[in-house]
Amino acid sequence: MAASRTLIEARKGSIPLARIALRGEAILTNPRFNKGTSFTHRERQAFGLTGRLPSRVNSLDEQIERAYEQLSSRQEPLRKNTFLQSLKDQNWVLYYGLISKHLKELVPIIYTPTQETMEEEFLEQTVRQGREVDLVVCTDAEAILGIGDQGVGGIAISTAKSVMYTLIGGLDPARSLSVMLDVGTDNEKLLNDKIYVGWQHKRVRGEDYDKFLDKFVQLVRKYYPHSLLHFEDFASKNAYNLLMRYKKHHAVFNDDIQGTGAVTLACLMAAIGIANDHAHNKKGSLASQRYVIMGAGSAGLGIATQIRDAIVAADHVSKEEACSRFWLIDREGLVYETGEGMAKGVGEIKGRLEGFVRSAEEGWKDNVPLLDVVKKIKPTVLIGCSTAAGAFTQEVVQAMMDGGCERPIVFPLSNPSRLVEAKPDDLMKWTNGKALVATGSPFPPVKMNVGGQEKQFIIAECNNALIYPGLGFGAVLAKTKELTDKMIVAGAHRLAELSPAVRRQKSEGSDYAGEALLPDFQEAPKINFEIGVAVAEEVVREGDSGVDGLTVKEVRERAKEKVWVPLYADYEYDPKGMV
């Protein structure tokens, strides 16, 4: 049984009675309370629905089966997306129940961008209505899904992220808020489009932009002090600045920076648990690795920062010493100090590089290629987020092995798959099955002959959705006012422990046999529940919980009560009930 259904089954029979003040058309058009044909005969009579619905009462499972048949009749992803959006507008439980049952198939569909509108004043209106909110997902739509400035159409990514927090993280959709911050657009097509519904003005930048964002964040802090504020698809510079500006004042999160870093850290922890550190004749630690990261943008720096912070926390070394284990390569070569400052091409991120810039005393030159860096420093870990297709050549990987790394850890993470730095089947072939590989896009298993035996290697997908919904659920569960580095690392540790490869090694004590370094995406709801528990436990340990008297031992049971799953409650009409 799929993990998502397991959570649903666990809650069956424990859903409380809901007292509802809506009747007739009002309840049928309210997606939070509408059950469609699942309204019982008792409920139909109590809520004035007799004659408004077909006579037969369907179970939720029957509704899901019928909805899936309707969805399957639509061939194009965009038409499937439209059907699902329409279903979400009608019935939240059925929408989430359907996707939960077909998680791997339908998550890519609900991420398809569609255009909707949202007024800037929506947040204020919601506050005046007294709505309780646990999650706020906002975007200014400047860097949507790698396709750039989408204007107010970017609201689709905010709503999609909110859906993922509910679908995989268990957050109540009634307590989520999706926001589009319309600060204009630099998309010329939209600026010249007569029917564009957004503000047809060049993007506001500088001081005015900062003041507007600060006003928004302060509203969130004032009215929703224990909410998680998720920044989504902001341009690289703004994303980093917002995260740094507010991370000590509110529970804020940026998936492009922290989510990518956290899931990669978890995958790395799993890989290190399998690979031997032959230089010390013991299992390697995070601090004992040498890291080359190709790509010094938001993703690359997010990964480097997350791993560095984990090294500091786990191996009790200074931040400077941890930074010394990294070599970052940008478009024009290794990032290092020169007589005129830093290597070219990193001006926008100069303030973010901190200790990751290599010293000029090491003798580096401009435009040092990846192969030369690998030969000189003999890395044990090679990570790619450069979109430089094929950059991890056989020569590069062989140089890692020639440097004494018997089991090279190679993560070509660039998306989409056509831009990957190396294909998994090539990496396994070049290393005779020794490489420990994870990718940013899904790839099929690699089947090959190793030592006269046919083996299959499952390629882990470093999908952020394996961790960020759980990080958010844990933060909301424990009502933390700050999502700290230790909390994120705690979530990554729990994800690494749930690695199929690690679990098999611990249970059987046998060598790596090709299992994935990360769980399959179909297990994402169960995995994120565990991550949420780990994060909330760390919140309690740090003394930052806003839940009075919450102890570490109580977190798991509290989480079981808090998680939202798509199941219908029993309704009873009450004019003073929910509306």
- Is the per-residue pLDDT at 551 higher than 60? yes
Indicate the DSSP class of residue 256: I
Q: What is the mean pLDDT of residues 242-253?
A: 95
Q: What is the mean pLDDT of residues 477-481?
A: 96
Of 238, 232, 146, 148, residue with least CA distance to 187: 148
> How many whole angstroms separate alpha carbon 418 and alpha carbon 400?
24
Of 156, 146, 75, 71, residue with least CA distance to 114: 156
Strand partners, 448: 455
- Is the per-residue pLDDT at 384 higher than 60? yes
- Binding-site annotation, residues for a divalent metal cation: 232-233, 256
Amino acid at 234: F
Amino acid at 112: T
Strongest mean pLDDT among 4-8, 200-204, 284-288 = 200-204
The answer to whether residues 256 and 163 touch, using CB atoms and an 8 Å cutoff, is no
- Is the per-residue pLDDT at 278 higher than 80? no
Render pLDDT for 183-235 as a digit per residue (tens, 0 to 9). Answer: 999 999 999 988 888 899 999 999 999 999 999 999 999 989 999 999 999 99
Confidence band of 113 (pLDDT split at 50, 70, 90) = very low
- Is the per-residue pLDDT at 139 higher than 90? yes
The answer to whether residues 238 and 142 touch, using CB atoms and an 8 Å cutoff, is yes
DSSP string, 34-90: --GGG--HHHHHHTT-TTTS-SSPPPHHHHHHHHHHHHHT--SHHHHHHHHHHHHHH
The set of residues, in sequence order, having a beta carbon less than 8 Å from that of 411 and lying 6+ positions away, is: 264, 267, 268, 381, 382, 383, 384, 437, 438, 439, 462
pLDDT at 89: 92
Q: What is the mean pLDDT of residues 250-261?
A: 92
Buried b (16+ CB within 10 A) or exposed e, 445-462: ebebeeeeeeeebbbbbb
- Binding-site annotation, residues for (S)-malate: 415, 463
Confidence band of 393 (pLDDT split at 50, 70, 90) = very high
> How many whole angstroms separate alpha carbon 189 and alpha carbon 193?
6
Q: What is the mean pLDDT of residues 436-457?
A: 92
Sign (positive/negative) of CA torsion 64, 66, 69, 74? negative
State whether residue 454 is helix, strand or coil: strand
pLDDT at 119: 34
State whether residue 394 is helix, strand or coil: helix
> How many whole angstroms separate alpha carbon 466 and alpha carbon 453?
32
Confidence band of 342 (pLDDT split at 50, 70, 90) = low
State whether residue 461 is helix, strand or coil: strand
Render pLDDT for 295-304 as a digit per residue (tens, 0 to 9). Answer: 988 788 889 9
- Is the per-residue pLDDT at 125 higher than 60? no
> How many whole angstroms separate alpha carbon 133 and alpha carbon 189?
35
Here the contacts of 351-354 (C-beta below 8 Å, separation 24 or greater) are 352/240, 352/301, 353/296, 353/301, 353/328, 354/323
Confidence band of 369 (pLDDT split at 50, 70, 90) = confident
Render pLDDT for 89-102 as a digit per residue (tens, 0 to 9). Answer: 999 999 999 999 99
pLDDT at 280: 41
Joined together, the tokens standing for residue 234 give: 């902001």
Which has more pLDDT, 251 or 343?
Answer: 251
The pTM for the full model equals: 0.86
Q: What is the mean pLDDT of residues 324-335?
A: 88
Judged by average pLDDT, the poorest of 297-306, 388-397, 495-504 is 297-306
The answer to whether residues 397 and 424 touch, using CB atoms and an 8 Å cutoff, is no
Confidence band of 116 (pLDDT split at 50, 70, 90) = very low
Task: Please give the positions annotated as active site.
Answer: 111, 161
Q: What is the mean pLDDT of residues 358-374?
A: 84
Q: Let me know how long the chain is.
A: 579
Strand partners, 179: 138
Joined together, the tokens standing for residue 349 give: 């991120």
Of 417, 424, 457, 422, residue with least CA distance to 441: 417
Q: What is the mean pLDDT of residues 266-287?
A: 74
Give how far the C-alpha of residue 329 lies from the chain's centroid of Cα atoms, to the nearest Å: 25
Other Cβ atoms within 10 Å of 439 Cβ, number: 26
Confidence band of 3 (pLDDT split at 50, 70, 90) = very low
CA angle 422, 424, 425 (to 5 degrees): 110
The answer to whether residues 261 and 307 touch, using CB atoms and an 8 Å cutoff, is yes
State whether residue 352 is helix, strand or coil: helix
If you search the block for the tokens 């929506």, which residue do you land on?
A: 122
Of 274, 299, 281, residue with least CA distance to 464: 299
> How many whole angstroms separate alpha carbon 156 and alpha carbon 272?
38
- Binding-site annotation, residues: 232-233, 256, 415, 463
- Is the per-residue pLDDT at 178 higher than 60? yes
pLDDT at 495: 97
- Is the per-residue pLDDT at 126 higher than 80? no
298-315 and 260-274 are packed helices; what angle lies between their axes, rounded to 10 degrees? 50
The answer, yes or no, to whether the previous bond of 575 is cis (omega within 30 of 0) is no
